[in-house]
Chain A
Amino acid sequence: AQRVTQPEKLLSVFKGAPVELKCNYSYSGSPELFWYVQYSRQRLQLLLRHISRESIKGFTADLNKGETSFHLKKPFAQEEDSAMYYCALKGTSGTYKYIFGTGTRLKVLA
């Protein structure tokens, strides 16, 4: 079954501390993985995608096919990083369906 698992509903860290938001997936094939973010009172928006290998707002995510994981990391959390983060997967063979995880709320404490 295709599935995205985000084991933490809430993650609280202090400002300046490292952050890791976990994402594990189940998919038979080569999926495309994404992280989306929703700041308070704003729309859901793309943060980064694995294929771009980019760093956005200091966040990076590496696709680990062996562990079927796509964890989101940032070395030094900022208060403005507080938001809801969703990991999402899309299959690559003839499907248009995106599968989202249940999300992790990140709170960065001053």
Chain B
Amino acid sequence: GAGVSQSPRYKVAKRGQDVALRCDPISGHVSLFWYQQALGQGPEFLTYFQNEAQLDKSGLPSDRFFAERPEGSVSTLKIQRTQQEDSAVYLCASSLGTRPQTYEQYFGPGTRLTVT
């Protein structure tokens, strides 16, 4: 079936605006990750969900960042009062299980956020 999808693919926001980025994981995938990838850098972990439970949010850079996965499928990453340093590609990944040695992460195409 379809892989991980993300929307919108591109988002331009004025500084101070709120944005919401959506991730549709592969159906039945338990684990869901959000990453932030700045230009020229590798993906940086933001947060992890196991079903609807947010088990790790240690990578969220500030309290302006908030993620949810209320029914254990679709997830939304919300950024309030966007700043220029939030400009990046936001990647979502899902995996069938919880053990990385057994279940690989499948990545979405990313949402490129530009804050002007």
Contact = CB atoms under 8 A, between A and B. Distances in A.
A99 interface: yes
B25 interface: no
Contact of A43 (B40, B44, B48, B107): B107
Interface residues on B, range: 20 to 34
A4 B45 CA distance: 13
B76 to A, nearest CB: 19
B55 A96 contact: yes
Nearest to B50: A96
What is the size category of the interface that chain A forms with chain B? 20 to 34
Contacts of B43: 44, 86, 98, 100
A102 B44 CA distance: 10
Contact of B56 (A51, A96, A100, A102): A96
A57 interface: no
A-B pairs, 6 with minimum CB distance: A100-B42, A96-B48, A44-B107, A46-B104, A96-B56, A51-B101
